[in-house]
A and B are shown apart, each in its own frame.
Chain A
Amino acid sequence: MDNQLYLSSSPHIHSGETTDKVMRLVIYALLPATLVSIYFFGLPALGVLLICTLGCVAFEALSCNLMKREQTIADGSAALTGILLALNLPPSSPWWISLLGAAIAILIGKQVYGGLGYNPFNPALVARVVLLISFPVQMTTWTAPAPLGSGVDAVTAATPLGEIKTAVMLTGKLPELATSGFGDYFLGNMAGSLGEVSALALLLGGLFLLYKKIISWHTPLSFIGTVIVVSGIFWLVDPAKYPNPLFHLITGGLILGAFFMATDMVSSPVTYKGMLIFGFGCGLLTVLIRLFGGYPEGVSFAILLMNAATPLIDRYCRPKIYGQVEQKA
């Protein structure tokens, strides 16, 4: 028996937390939002979801094979990237946009850096932004919701954020939709990316992640809080020109970004203090881009820019070590 004993340095027990479990729980948390998007946008949305998810897993498998590395598709991170990418695309995206997005996310966004854990930017957002800049027509062609079974055909429509941007540019004034229809926005009954629509479903998922302690409250609260405060200031200054904070909150990708994209562990700071700064930066940039930038939506750019700042934030947010404080004997 003696030579079959396991020798190791302590500790000898483990929490049972695993990377796979973390990824799986995030995927579960995204289920309500994916279901809502399929409900509102029907089969096209399902198509985008399937192509992105399967595409990401396939590209992950392919790159592991090509690089002769251990196969990593089982850890769930590629599937998660696929779902997040799908939630960032318009439901009317052609199949090749979805597939190209999957390739960009996994190959350029993740594997060139060395795979899971080494990517400086959120892979799904890298793909979205590359697509948005490269294919502006396909990436900004939105459809109005056509709920399953309603018999309504999908028609082209603008997102609420897109409409107010155009209206403000043309007339200098907010259109009516900036002040009404909030119930529909909250449930997800509006044009937008798959995952930009239902604040309610995303919040449910986000709360689940908080409850399961997969994410901490720091990033989402600081991100959303900053958006509310900064957009609130502009709104108070000129309510005819700037939409109110609630509009910012429930239209566009803020909830998705704050709970699911900015909290991506790999590309965001590791300390609570760092997360607060990161969230603040995301919020500030989001509002500035939405109100003054060329694009109607700024969440993706904001998070990517803050991803770039993550190493710096980590460097300046080292926790204060036990025993390096003033003695209060």
Chain B
Amino acid sequence: MSLKTFAGGLHPPDSKSATAHKPIEACPLPEELIIPAAQHIGAPADICVAVGDQVKKGQVIATAKGFVSVPIHASTSGEVIAVEPRPHPLGRPLPAVVIKPDGEDAWDEALEQHDPAQLVGEELKQLVLAAGIVGMGGATFPAHVKLSPPEEKPIDTLILNGVECEPFLTADHRLMLEESTRVIDGINILRKILGIERAVIGIEANKPDAIEKMTAECAPHNIEVQALEVKYPQGAEKQLIDAVTGRQVPSGGLPMDCGVVVQNVGTAAAISDAVRLGRPLVERVATVTGPGIKEPKNLKIVIGTPLSHMVEFCGGLEGEPGKIIMGGPMMGQTQLSLEVPAIRGTSGLLLFRKGDFSTRPAGPCIRCGRCISVCPIHLQPTTIATYARLNLVDEAESNNALDCIECGCCTYICPATLPLVQSIRHIKGGIMAKRRKS
């Protein structure tokens, strides 16, 4: 099969060998689970439990607030010991429900199993919403919103994101190898909700075992598997759509504007559980890796597990940590401490020691043009970044700063070590603020 891809991008070392061959291990329950109300893009959920409440696994502890929002569920059975702001991956304390597990890990009996064949699309979609399913690649966009395109925007293709282009991370890779049945079941449910036939799984060519397995198992379901060139950011939504369909999402638009819905393979697996078992999204696979960890592993964790607990289960820290990153090295967020919990969007935990990352001071731009040749959106990052440093909001806007997907290619390649994407991110905030004002 010929490899497809997009224009631009680059090839960071993939650094996946530490965990790519390791089967997913279940991480034991911690002493306490910290489950934030904000785990998705959109309005945070409303907490509906109080201290002292006994909760079952899968029970709703916070309800969705508005259309772009999802409910949050207890990840195990136990007692609510606190409802208060706790450290959050976003960097500041945010409201969370703290649960002390009772050790039973008992599911809520009210959860109902369903046969997707007996349900219509709308009913299935309600189950997806009720289960709190969000995009599990890291963006955590509520899945039911993506599955509700307005009538004037017909969808003809469902793309499953199995690319996992972030270096170090292998969670989706292992999931496709070990849980392919759930993934495929989820795809079938998604097709039914969208009322379409065509589904394509995009997988980077550095996962030949996953490509082979999915190809074999997808054939009877009429699901295509598309091998993609190994190139970052191949797994970014817009780049994936371009590679698979040759279409481009219009500037400022959504995938549905070009007839496509993209879901992560992990999201598909979660949707299968949500429908067949009635189980909400309370656990996920995350890769714990990096030179700062003793035994890198792929873990199945329950939502709310503190990072420190995951580190402990992976043999502890190797050397002194210099940077704690939730997610991958290209787009992940640095954390203030290991007391932060893993949430629905936590695809990995990456630990760098001091010296494992560069802290060179920035020099002047030498106009080498590399940021331009690698930008997958074909922006001129150095130009926008210059406007950003001068706080010229209008100029940055007219140079299409808002189209930036913040993949970080420009900063990665810059020989002057300029914080290009960081500056662009900053001015995007300025542009949005200006738009809100006017």
Chain A residues positioned under 8 Å from B380 (CB to CB)? 270, 318-319
Within 8 A of A (CB), among B133-155: none
The CB with the most chain A CB atoms within 10 A, among B246, B249, B364, B403, is that of B364
Compute how far the CA of A1 lies from the CA of B337 in the bound complex, rounded to whole angstroms: 9
A5-B324, A5-B334 known; A13 and B354 CB under 8 Å? Answer: no
Chain B residues positioned under 8 Å from A115 (CB to CB)? 364
B248 touches A266 (CB 8 A): no
A5 touches B372 (CB 8 A): no
* Residue from B10, B352, B359, B408 in contact with A10 in the complex, judged by beta carbons closer than 8 Å: B408
Chain B residues positioned under 8 Å from A324 (CB to CB)? 250-251
B365 touches A271 (CB 8 A): no
CB of B1 to closest CB in A, whole Å? 23
Within 8 A of A (CB), among B352-405: 352, 354, 357-360, 363-370, 372-373, 375-380, 382, 400, 403
A266 touches B238 (CB 8 A): no
CB of A241 to closest CB in B, whole Å? 40
B54 within 8 A of A: no
Compute how far the CA of A118 lies from the CA of B364 in the bound complex, rounded to whole angstroms: 8
A6-B359, A13-B167, A14-B411 known; A323 and B250 CB under 8 Å? Answer: yes
In this complex, what residue of B is CB-closest to A21? Answer: B415
* Residue from A6, A266, A320, A325 in contact with B357 in the complex, judged by beta carbons closer than 8 Å: A6
A11 within 8 A of B: yes
B376 touches A322 (CB 8 A): yes
B337 touches A5 (CB 8 A): yes
**What is the interface of chain A mostly: helix, strand, loop, or mixed?**
loop
Chain B residues positioned under 8 Å from A14 (CB to CB)? 357-358, 360, 411-412, 417
* Residue from B167, B248, B249, B366 in contact with A19 in the complex, judged by beta carbons closer than 8 Å: B366
CB of B103 to closest CB in A, whole Å? 30
Over the window 408-438 of chain B, the binary record of Cβ atoms lying under 8 Å from chain A Cβ atoms (1 yes, 0 no) is: 1001111111010110010000000000000
A11 touches B411 (CB 8 A): yes
A10 touches B331 (CB 8 A): yes
A116 within 8 A of B: yes
A5-B323, A15-B413, A323-B250 known; A271 and B408 CB under 8 Å? Answer: no
B412 touches A1 (CB 8 A): no
The CB with the most chain A CB atoms within 10 A, among B252, B413, B415, is that of B415
A17-B413, A271-B369 known; A328 and B336 CB under 8 Å? Answer: no
In this complex, what residue of B is CB-closest to A23? Answer: B366
> Chain A: how many interface residues by the 8 Å CB criterion?
45
B403 touches A12 (CB 8 A): no
A10-B332, A272-B373, A329-B247 known; A15 and B12 CB under 8 Å? Answer: yes
Over the window 322-350 of chain B, the binary record of Cβ atoms lying under 8 Å from chain A Cβ atoms (1 yes, 0 no) is: 11110101111111110000000000001
A221 within 8 A of B: no
* Residue from B258, B416, B421 in contact with A11 in the complex, judged by beta carbons closer than 8 Å: B421
Chain B residues positioned under 8 Å from A16 (CB to CB)? 358
Compute how far the CA of A22 lies from the CA of B364 in the bound complex, rounded to whole angstroms: 13
CB of A219 to closest CB in B, whole Å? 11
Chain B residues positioned under 8 Å from A118 (CB to CB)? 364
B42 within 8 A of A: no
Chain A residues positioned under 8 Å from B372 (CB to CB)? 270-271, 319
Chain B residues positioned under 8 Å from A325 (CB to CB)? 248
B415 touches A323 (CB 8 A): no
A6 touches B323 (CB 8 A): yes
Chain A residues positioned under 8 Å from B12 (CB to CB)? 13, 15
Chain A residues positioned under 8 Å from B321 (CB to CB)? 1, 5
Compute how far the CA of A267 lies from the CA of B365 in the bound complex, rounded to whole angstroms: 12
A18-B360, A270-B367, A329-B259 known; A12 and B325 CB under 8 Å? Answer: yes
Chain A residues positioned under 8 Å from B379 (CB to CB)? 319, 321
In this complex, what residue of A is CB-closest to B363? Answer: A19
Chain B residues positioned under 8 Å from A2 (CB to CB)? 336-337
A321-B403, A322-B377 known; A6 and B354 CB under 8 Å? Answer: yes
Over the window 299-327 of chain A, the binary record of Cβ atoms lying under 8 Å from chain B Cβ atoms (1 yes, 0 no) is: 00000000000000000001111111101
B334 touches A8 (CB 8 A): yes
Compute how far the CA of A194 lies from the CA of B108 in the bound complex, rounded to whole angstroms: 84
A22 touches B368 (CB 8 A): yes
Chain B residues positioned under 8 Å from A207 (CB to CB)? none
In this complex, what residue of B is CB-closest to A265? Answer: B368
B330 touches A11 (CB 8 A): yes
Chain A residues positioned under 8 Å from B373 (CB to CB)? 272
CB of B289 to closest CB in A, whole Å? 13
* Residue from A1, A18, A322 in contact with B320 in the complex, judged by beta carbons closer than 8 Å: A1
B422 touches A6 (CB 8 A): no
B66 within 8 A of A: no
B220 within 8 A of A: no
Chain B residues positioned under 8 Å from A22 (CB to CB)? 366, 368, 415
The CB with the most chain A CB atoms within 10 A, among B332, B352, B368, B373, is that of B368
Chain B residues positioned under 8 Å from A75 (CB to CB)? 363
The CB with the most chain B CB atoms within 10 A, among A5, A12, A116, A269, is that of A12
The CB with the most chain B CB atoms within 10 A, among A1, A118, A323, A327, is that of A323
> What are 15 pairs between A and B in contact, CB < 8 Å?
A5-B334, A6-B322, A9-B421, A12-B352, A14-B411, A21-B415, A114-B364, A116-B364, A117-B367, A270-B369, A322-B248, A322-B249, A322-B376, A327-B248, A327-B257
Query: What 10 new A-B contacts, CB under 8 Å, besides A10-B330, A11-B408, A11-B421?
Result: A1-B320, A5-B321, A6-B359, A7-B323, A9-B334, A10-B408, A15-B412, A271-B369, A318-B380, A323-B252
10 A-B pairs closest in CB distance: A11-B408, A117-B364, A270-B369, A323-B251, A319-B378, A17-B415, A14-B358, A322-B377, A13-B329, A265-B368
